[in-house]
Amino acid sequence: MKSYKRIILTAFVILAFALVPFIVDAEKSYLVYSLFLFFCYIIISQAWNLVAGYTGQISLGQHAFFGLGAYTTALIWLHDITKTGYYFDPITMLLSGLVPAILAVIIGIPLLSRLRGDYFALGTLGMGEIIKVVFVKGGSITGASDGLHLPSAIYSSIKPYYWTGLFLAIFATMVVYFMIRSHTGLALRAIREDETSAAAHGIHVLKYKVLAFSVGAFLAGLCGSLYGIYLFHINPDSVLKLDWTLYPILMCVIGGTGTIIGPLLGAFFISTVFSLADIYFVQMHPVMAGFLIILVMKFMPNGLIGLIQRKEIFK
Amino acid sequence: MLEILNLNVIIQLLINGILFGTMYGIAAIGLSLIFGTMRIIFLAQGSMIILFAYVCYWLFELLGLDPYISLILIVLISLWLGAGIYRALFKGAVAQEDKNISLLIAIGLMFLLENLMTVFWTANPRSISTSYTSYVFRPMGIGIPFNRLMGFIMAVLSTTGVVLFLKKTFIGIAVRAAAEDMEAATLLGINPHRVNGTAFAIGTGLAGIAGVELATIYPFDPFFGFIFVLKAMIALAIGGIGSVFGALLGGIILGLLESLASFFIGGGWSDAVSYAVFLLILMLRPEGLLVRSVKKA
Amino acid sequence: MLEIQGLDVFYDDVQAVWDVSLHVDEGSIVALVGANGAGKSTLLKTISGITPAERGAILFSGKSLTNLPPQDIVDMGISHVPEGRRLFSNLTVLENLKLGSYTPRARRTIEQSLGRAYDLFPVLRNRRNQKAGSLSGGEQQMLAIARAMMSRPRILMLDEPSLGLSPILVRTMFELIMNLNSQNVTILLVEQNIHQALKIADRAYVLKNGKITMTGGGEELLSDPEVQKAYIGARWSRQ
């Protein structure tokens, strides 16, 4: 598809999404809610896609960054730190992304310099658990296992969440897209293919790994912030659960890692499956998630994109 | 606190820790075998343990079957199930070069099991107590709970069994060889799938034993599995991947650490300490604390 | 006995072997020589079934080996000693040897095979309960070959057996190979030590960049000026 056609198609799709709340009754519509979740999933999927799909570092700790983002937002709001009183305050969101990103740098440097592959994945798992414990034990600052409550009066309509979600989803995709197409992206992919060779070619491997890791954390934190405001009751069980690491993996894997469209397709597919499942089989969607990962890895490990590519080869 | 700090208390803590730690130990042995042959971290090991704990629990609740008797049944089931899971889920994935596929399948399995068990059996904690499980021996004023002692004995016996299997049977020797160099083993005509399947089945069998141990000692719920496999990995990190007894020892050391930490620091933080120790070991001495370096031929 | 026709093999996405055809007569010693990376090891791995062939046929006594799993190939009587020996250093000498007789056909006569191995290499009997990793370089090479012989092979494939050995041991190694051959074991030898390899070979193939460039009798190639120039260096031809 020619590039200008692609741009027009994308713009059209975005416009269509943007208009949905005007067409249906947003407050009562399950569709709007599903799409909102869909946008959230896109954000964290692209985050994981950047770290794992393009740079080859399997991170199992994204949920920690997600939760951190949510908590940061809640804390800023409750303690009126930014003194803006706005709701979808971009500064709050920015900070909610920065805090996890900074943590990612601090933890990432020792972890990424010493651990490879499986060991790195385990390290991120451990990190995630430590953060969970810190939040559960955080006493009055973090509200311990009960968590923090934002005043429910701030929720008036789902529409601002929806559009902010759409915006952030586009933002996340753009960030990853432009990063990948830049020199940085080349370096990241080189690292994924063959780290030793990349280093031998003068690529500062650690710097780029940490960069990808912290950008991934930033995006995950943004998503956490958005979702946290939506939930307005933030506790370890809801924002620090492993689901927030597993789902992006599932979506990237279904759609096809290492591509820009892959996570989008995967997120769309999973959102649909979950939404339908929630209507007909309540409570089952984590089960389905597990089941789906197994199926996908067995039968189409390269995801939907892989299937499409294979079809093209056989034409 | 210093008033209650006397020798008896310390010894009690140590005993509790050691006896509990054997559970981590045998889970770790299973992980080690699976990692040795398939080179993946089988993250679903914890959920398997919980699964078998449930089986033991339900056999007790519904059929009145004493847990120590159902142990035999459960070991058989777990061995058979392990071989089946390998064939159904991992055999194809192993043939492909990408280890991430197997890793993700393991993660998917963990999720599937955890949530399926929640749907069927709810997230309420379960535990088995028979007339004698709460009995406590008291030699020299130190309390040794019967159930933990039994757990310890089960763990030691099964570990010994595994070691004998690995040293004395042909397939056991083949497993050890494949864990060292799969390609060289293949060149000798050893079927990698048989070896992987055997290692996997033993790993699952050990999960079964750990499950029975858990069911009789400590309340469990479907999500405990994840924490358990993390602890098993910490045990493995301490003990080193190459050695079976090392893994058991690693588990015991972890149990000790936890027991002492949770007494002096308090429940939640002791977990954080364990994870921090884990990260440190991973970064500083990934081959394990107890392992001496191995030469290559 | 062993016949290869038109073999193409890819290593990842790179073609390592290009349209290779060769044959090994029963009871002979055939050498595959060439520089590093010429595709020799890949060829052996394809024969033993570790690496898949993209195109071509491999026939052993008339039976096709393509797509057979390695364990079946070993059971048919093809034994491969890989480059670098690849012993199980944490296992004992005895355990290493026993594993050599893993396949069903060999397992039936494992005691005899063990006896033969000890007769051939008495030092292995002495060290049978020691870990393989504790043996010296020469002993390890002997163990590797003994282990391969435990499967009662009809053809023994050796990948760089002299690698890392001192000159005296190299000589012993090649004497050993001839000894085995005289006991009716067909040998397919991959070697960088071209001189020694060609000296004992009945037939030889020269491999370059995955293609066969020359073929002929061992002595014949040894005195061929092109071979001498490219691989040996004119001064060495008198050793």
* Interface pTM, i.e. ipTM: 0.86
Contact B282 A136 (CB under 8 A): no
Looking up tokens 């290499």, which residue turns up? C121
- Residue B237 has which token pair? 């990190």
pLDDT single digits (tens) B62-106: 888 888 888 999 999 999 999 999 999 888 888 776 777 888 888
The yes-or-no verdict on residue C235 having pLDDT over 70 is no
Chains that touch A (3 or more CB pairs under 8 A): B
Structure tokens at B34: 């699976």
Band of the pLDDT at C168, cuts 50, 70, 90? confident
More confident residue, A82 or A114: A114
Q: What digits encode the pLDDT tens for the residues A199-220?
A: 888 888 888 999 999 999 999 9
Closest CA to C141 of C170, C118, C103, C180: C170
**DSSP output for A110-136:** HHHHH--HHHHHHHHHHHHHHHHHHHH
Other beta carbons within 10 Å of C234: 9
Task: Output the CA–CA distances (angstroms, integers) from residue B88 to A295, B39, B115, in the order listed.
Answer: 11, 18, 20
Is residue A18 within 8 angstroms of chain B, CB to CB? no
The answer to whether A297 faces chain B, any CB pair under 8 Å, is yes
Pairing of strands C29-33, C203-208: parallel
For B97-114, the pLDDT digits (tens) are: 677 788 888 888 998 898
Q: How many CB atoms lie within 10 A of CB C201?
A: 27
| Spatial distance between the Cα atoms of C212 and A32, rounded to a whole number of angstroms | 67
Q: Which residues of B touch A119 (CB under 8 A)?
A: 282, 286
| pLDDT (average), residues C129-133 | 90
State residue B24's pLDDT score. Answer: 93
Q: What is the mean pLDDT of chain C?
A: 86
Closest chain B CA to residue A293: B108
Other residues' Cβ atoms within 10 Å of the Cβ of residue A12 = 10
Q: Which two tokens stand for residue A100?
A: 């996890």
Rounded CA-CA distance C137/A269 in Å is 58
Instruction: Report DSSP letters for A33-70, one per residue.
Output: HHHHHHHHHHHHHHHHIIIIIIT----S-HHHHHHHHH
Residue type, B65: L
Q: Touching check for A310 and chain B: CB below 8 Å?
A: no
Please give the average per-residue pLDDT across A260-289, as a whole number.
81
**What's the pLDDT tens digit per position in C94-112?**
999 999 999 888 888 899 9
The chains found to touch C (3+ Cβ pairs under 8 angstroms) are: B
Facing B180 at nearest CB: one of C90, C134, C147: C90
Q: Tell me which chain B residue has its CA closest to the CA of residue C139.
A: B297
Is C75 in the B-facing interface, judged by CB distances under 8 Å?
yes
- Are residues A125 and B283, on separate chains, in Cβ contact within 8 Å? no
Assess whether chains C and A touch, using the rule of 3 or more C-beta pairs within 8 angstroms: no
* B116 vs A contacts (CB less than 8 Å): 287, 290
DSSP per residue over C8-56, as a string? EEEETTEEEEEEEEEEE-TT-EEEEE-STTSSHHHHHHHHHTSS--SEE
C55 touches chain B (CB under 8 A): no
Burial A251-260, CB ≥16 within 10 A → b, else e: bbbbbbbbbb
Give the pLDDT score at A242.
83
CB A45 within 8 A of CB A251: yes
Note the pLDDT of residue B296.
36
Q: How far is A218 from A169, CA to CA, in rounded Å?
A: 13
Q: What is the pLDDT of residue A311?
A: 63
The closest alpha carbon to C98, from B188, B178, B33, belongs to B188
Q: Is the pTM of this model over 0.90?
A: no
Q: What is the pLDDT of residues B14-36, one digit of tens each?
A: 888 888 899 999 999 999 999 98
Closest CA to C121 of C96, C154, C90, C88: C96
Residue B297 has what pLDDT? 36
Q: What single letter denotes the amino acid at residue A171?
A: F
